[in-house]
Structure 1
């Protein structure tokens, strides 16, 4: 499904995988908010985003996720400096969305740092759905099989998979997690478009996701 309208009520009722991230994402806000389960492609796991290069003038905000929320990025490096910069800011965008969800703040400025346009609107709406439902998130999400194409100066596309089988929606008051069985729907394929800002940040402008896509399922 494409992340455009975020049918939260249905997602909450149907599955705890309602985590996005936005919207792993939030760009062209996806319709499927659940995070996806990922297949192991043998890559090295990295849970922290690469640091900005010395030539980058952007003062990126420090984002620290709660101890019970983990994002694991597998094979999130290509060896190409530009592509790795795209991947670094994409991973920061994912962390930023989860941070806003766990903080219960749909207007957190960190979202505007890594999202823009319709993607930013979608991400804010997605976080608001969690806030209104008095929900948060917990668990681990794996992101794998990234494919980057820098097709013009300051413009790139990025697709990747995620596995959300160990990520759950959590009641904000009681802390109780809604655990559901792992199925093909636990895997998602994300398609995004990024644009480099005048500060050197690769911001996500468009984000779509499809649950259960065979490119990501085992």
Structure 2
């Protein structure tokens, strides 16, 4: 994991469970009802049916790119959840690059415990004067729906081509990236 340092206070980013294990290698179906040690629930504010015109605009700098695979499943409901998931990830990065935890996008896509964890995560970057550059690929994104109406998105991130930078100079911070793992498994809950 190169671009997402895990300060103790931000271990569960936006209430995503980060499992520092390589993604892939298992063909087993993931049961969204299974409890994962350390996993917490995120609460997303908007419903997938809200219009795109109401959403905040998120633009990452040219040196940072998120690529989201598996965006279209053929199921409009799942596709809307995947779009919200991508926007939530981009909202976190938008806050890092803006240098503040008080952004329209974070307030729109996260609430309650998820918003609190997102704030802690972004502060982990800001307090250490970090940003990131490169490309992060999000793949194997799977959506399931719970009986309570919530959606669960489990997905992998490949951060081999992303790295931490000094937020002031933009230079790579190889010391901060040392020892991090390039693959991360996320488990999110959207309501």
TM-score range, shorter chain: 0.7 to 0.9
Q: Which residue of 2 aligns with 1:56?
A: 50
Hey, what's the Cα distance between the residues in 1 that align with 2:182 and 2:17?
15
Which of 153, 174, 182 does residue 186 from structure 1 map onto?
182
Which of 100, 104, 114 does residue 109 from structure 1 map onto?
104
The answer as to whether partners of 1:155 and 1:194 remain within 8 angstroms in 2 is yes
Hey, what's the Cα distance between the residues in 1 that align with 2:22 and 2:65?
14
Q: How many residues of Structure 1 are paired with residues of Structure 2 in the alignment?
A: 162
**RMSD of Structure 2 on Structure 1 (CA):** 2.9
Alignment of 1:26-45 (within 5 A): 26-28=13-15, 30=17
Q: Decide whether aligned partners of structure 1 residues 26 and 56 sit closer, same or farther in structure 2, where only a CA change above 3 A counts.
A: same
Hey, what's the Cα distance between the residues in 1 that align with 2:18 and 2:142?
22
Q: Which residue of 1 aligns with 2:131?
A: 136
Hey, what's the Cα distance between the residues in 2 that align with 1:80 and 1:119?
26
Q: Which residue of 1 aligns with 2:3?
A: 17
* Higher helix proportion: 2
Hey, what's the Cα distance between the residues in 2 that align with 1:159 and 1:181?
26
Q: Decide whether aligned partners of structure 1 residues 19 and 140 sit closer, same or farther in structure 2, where only a CA change above 3 A counts.
A: farther
Alignment of 1:28-177 (within 5 A): 28=15, 30=17, 56-57=50-51, 59-152=54-147, 154-177=149-172
Structure 1: which 5+ runs fail to align? Answer: 1-14, 40-51, 196-218
Query: Which structure is higher in RCO with an 8 Å CA cutoff and minimum separation 6?
Result: 2
Query: How far off is 1:27 after superposition?
Result: 2.4
The answer as to whether partners of 2:129 and 2:167 remain within 8 angstroms in 1 is yes
Query: How far off is 1:17 after superposition?
Result: 3.0
The answer as to whether partners of 1:72 and 1:141 remain within 8 angstroms in 2 is yes
Query: How far off is 1:145 after superposition?
Result: 0.3
* Higher strand proportion: 1
Structure-1-length-normalised TM-score:
0.65
Hey, what's the Cα distance between the residues in 2 that align with 1:16 and 1:166?
8
Q: Which residue of 2 aligns with 1:209?
A: none
The answer as to whether partners of 1:100 and 1:111 remain within 8 angstroms in 2 is yes
